[in-house]
């Protein structure tokens, strides 16, 4: 009986370590996906007639799936983080992870809405020959684009809450934990400022947020990946199952 119990504990430790390493790798990959979103893929053109043709643009379509993949990676990596901290701050981690899931679902839904609804409307607009039908489809495309704005707002808001909760959960930890706590809280402040600036429309704040998106965010994702990897290694060295982390 004791041998069987020990084998189960060892198996739990190994499974915990493997998943946390996987979560850490997912976090490191989000460094690349974040940079791709903000630096590699171009912004859509402002002209409607050019923008409506994006449903044929391979780069644009890859960008949509790239964002979906990024959100999935974030959810997995934040679940790894949450498992490590769950015993230490169950309330904050539970609420934080729920908001990270909301963040991911909101943005994935927005991208699917573009891929499977707006792009179909754009195709119908391009193929339409009747001026009246074409005008109606144009208005539908414009209004349809506006319908994605609330999902984007929810995406930013939920991510800010998730970062705030995870940051507070680390407040009483080691020196590295405290540093990460402060940086996560600052990240949440950046999210809330970005959300507010969608109403304020301050040019200088918009420029700061644009730079912050491809500098601060990738650095934070790399630090989180390092933190998860270190905790995974520590748990494995101590032969502790994940639930005791």
The pLDDT of residue 127 is above 70: yes
Comparing CA positions, the residue from 17, 18, 71 lying closest to residue 238 is: 17
Long-range contacts of 63-69 (CB under 8 A, 24+ apart): 63/37, 64/111, 64/114, 64/115, 65/111, 65/115, 66/33, 66/36, 66/37, 66/41, 67/37, 67/107, 67/111, 68/107, 68/108, 68/111, 68/112, 69/33
CA pair distance 188, 196, nearest whole angstrom: 12
Question: For residue 173, is pLDDT > 90?
Answer: no
pLDDT of 157 over the 80 cut: yes
pTM of the model: 0.90
Q: Token pair of 83, please?
A: 């498992």
Mind listing the pLDDT tens digit for each residue in 182-221?
A: 999 999 999 999 999 999 999 999 999 999 999 999 999 9
SS (H, E, C) 109-174: HHHHHHHHHHHHHHHHHHHCCCHHHHHHHHHHHHHHHHHHHHHHHHHHHHHHHHHHHHHHHCCCCC
Residue 140 has pLDDT above 60, yes or no: yes
Evaluated on CA atoms 121, 123, 129, 134, the torsion sign reads positive
Question: So what's the pLDDT on residue 9?
Answer: 47
Q: What is the pLDDT of residues 23-38, one digit of tens each?
A: 999 999 999 999 999 9
Whether the pLDDT of residue 76 is over 50: the answer is yes
Q: How far separated are the first and last CA of the chain, in Å rounded?
A: 25
**Above 70 in pLDDT, residue 4?**
no
Using the predicted structure, report yes or no on whether residue 10 has a pLDDT greater than 60: no
Angle between helices 90-113 and 131-169 (to 10 degrees): 160
| Mean pLDDT of the 133-142 span | 96
Tell me the pLDDT tens digit for each residue of 222-241. Answer: 999 999 999 988 765 555 55
Say how far apart CA 15 and CA 173 lie, in whole Å: 25
Residue from 57, 59, 58 nearest 36 by CA: 59
- Residue entry with tokens 């994940």: 242
Question: Over 90: is that where the pLDDT of 71 sits?
Answer: yes
* pLDDT for 176 beyond 90: yes
Count of CB atoms within 10 A of residue 245's CB?
18
> Whole-number mean pLDDT of the chain?
91
| Burial (Cβ within 10 Å: 0-12, 13-18, ≥19) of residue 106 | buried
Average pLDDT of the segment spanning 164-171: 97
Mean pLDDT computed over 165-169:
98
Q: Are 231 and 245 in contact (CB under 8 A)?
A: yes
Element (H, E) at 226: helix 203-237
């Amino acid at each position: 009986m004791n041998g069987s119990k020990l084998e189960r504990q060892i198996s739990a430790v190994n499974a915990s370590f493997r998943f946390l390493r996987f979560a850490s790798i997912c976090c490191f990959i989000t460094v690349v996906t974040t940079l791709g979103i903000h630096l590699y893929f171009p912004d859509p053109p402002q002209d409607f007639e050019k923008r409506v043709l994006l449903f044929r643009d391979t780069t644009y379509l890859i960008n949509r799936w790239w964002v979906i993949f990024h959100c999935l990676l974030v959810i997995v990596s934040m679940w790894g983080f949450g498992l490590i901290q769950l015993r230490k701050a169950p309330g904050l981690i539970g609420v934080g992870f729920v908001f990270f899931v909301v963040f991911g679902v909101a943005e994935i839904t927005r991208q699917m809405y573009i891929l499977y609804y707006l792009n179909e409307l754009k195709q119908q607009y391009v193929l339409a020959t009747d001026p009246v039908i074409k005008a109606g489809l144009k208005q539908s495309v414009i209004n349809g684009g506006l319908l994605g704005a609330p999902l984007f707002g929810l995406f930013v808001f939920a991510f800010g809450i998730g970062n705030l909760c995870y940051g507070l959960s680390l407040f009483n930890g080691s020196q590295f934990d405290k540093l990460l706590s402060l940086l996560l809280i600052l990240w949440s402040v950046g999210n809330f400022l970005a959300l507010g600036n969608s109403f304020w429309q301050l040019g200088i704040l918009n420029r700061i947020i644009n730079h912050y998106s491809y500098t601060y965010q990738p650095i934070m994702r790399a630090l989180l990946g390092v933190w998860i990897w270190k905790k995974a290694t520590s748990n494995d060295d101590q032969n502790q199952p994940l639930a005791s982390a």
